Amino acid sequence: MQIVIVPTPAEVGAVAAAKIAKVVRTKADAVLGVATGSSPLAIYAELEHRKSAGELDFTAVRAFALDEYVGIDYAHEQSYHSVIRREVTDRLGLNPALVHVPDGAAADIARACADYEQLIAEAGGVDIQILGIGTNGHIGFNEPTSSFASRTRIKTLAPRTREDNARFFDGDLAQVPTHCLTQGLGTILAARRLVLVATGAAKADAVAAMVEGPLSSMCPGSALQLHPDATVVIDEDAAARLTLTDYYRHTFANLPEWQRYEV
C-alpha cells in the first residue's frame, strides 16, 4: 500500500487525479470505478480541468458506481444515479450509456446485484477504483463485519453512516435511506488498481485503522492491505493518527521513475 500525505484537500484530489489520468491516457476505454460523497469531489474537479485543457478524453471511458440507495427515486437529487450524472458523467463528458449504477429500485434485488457483477465482468473488470472511507471504516457501503469475499449485495446502513450522510439530506436523518446496494469488498479488491482519498481530522482514526491496524472486518477499509496496487492519498489532518508518517513521505519523495505520475 502506498501512502501519500499532502497539505490540502485540493492536493489530495490532484494527486489521485494524476494516477487516474495516467490510466485513461494509456487506455482510452478504461473502466473507472467511481464513488460518491465529499471526498472524491476534488478528484472530479481536477479531472474536469484536465479534460477542459485538452489533456484527457473520457468519451470512450466506461464507469461503474460503487453503490446506490434502496428505496429512493432516481430523480431525487441525492440518489447516486443523480449524483454520478451530476458530478461525473456531465462534468467529464462520459457517454451516459457507458456509466452504470446499481439498480436500487429493482423488484428482484438479488438478480440486480448478480446482473451488476456480470456487467463488470463483461467490461473486463475495473481498471482503477476510486474510494473514500467512512468514519467507521466502511468503503463503498461495506459496513463493519462485512466479508472480505463479499460481492455486490444489499446492506443495512449503520446508524453512524446514516448520521454522517444526513448532511446530504438537509440534516434530516429520517430522509436517509436505511438500505443500499453496494459492491462487496471482494468486488472492490478485484479492481486492478485502487486509489482511496480521505481528508479532515474526522477520518484520522479510520485511516490509521485501515493503514496500520490489523486486517479486520471491523475496519472494512483494512481490506486494502490485501491489494497489490492500492494508493491512499490523504491530507495532514487525516494523517494525524498514523505512526510512520516520516517513512511514507520519504517513500513518496523517492519513487522510482517508472512509478511516478505527473501531478
Instruction: Please give the chain's pLDDT, 263 residues, in tens.
Output: 999 999 999 999 999 999 999 999 999 999 999 999 899 999 999 999 999 999 999 999 999 999 999 989 889 999 999 999 999 999 999 999 999 999 999 999 999 999 999 999 999 999 999 999 999 999 999 999 999 999 999 999 999 999 999 999 999 999 999 999 999 999 999 999 999 999 999 999 999 999 999 999 999 999 999 999 999 999 999 999 999 999 999 999 998 888 877 77
What is the Rg, in whole angstroms, of the alpha carbon atoms belonging to the chain? 17
Q: Which long-range contacts (CB under 8 A, 24 or more apart) does 77-83 make?
A: 78/168, 78/169, 79/104, 80/36, 80/104, 83/36
Mapped onto helix, strand or coil, the DSSP state of residue 30 is coil
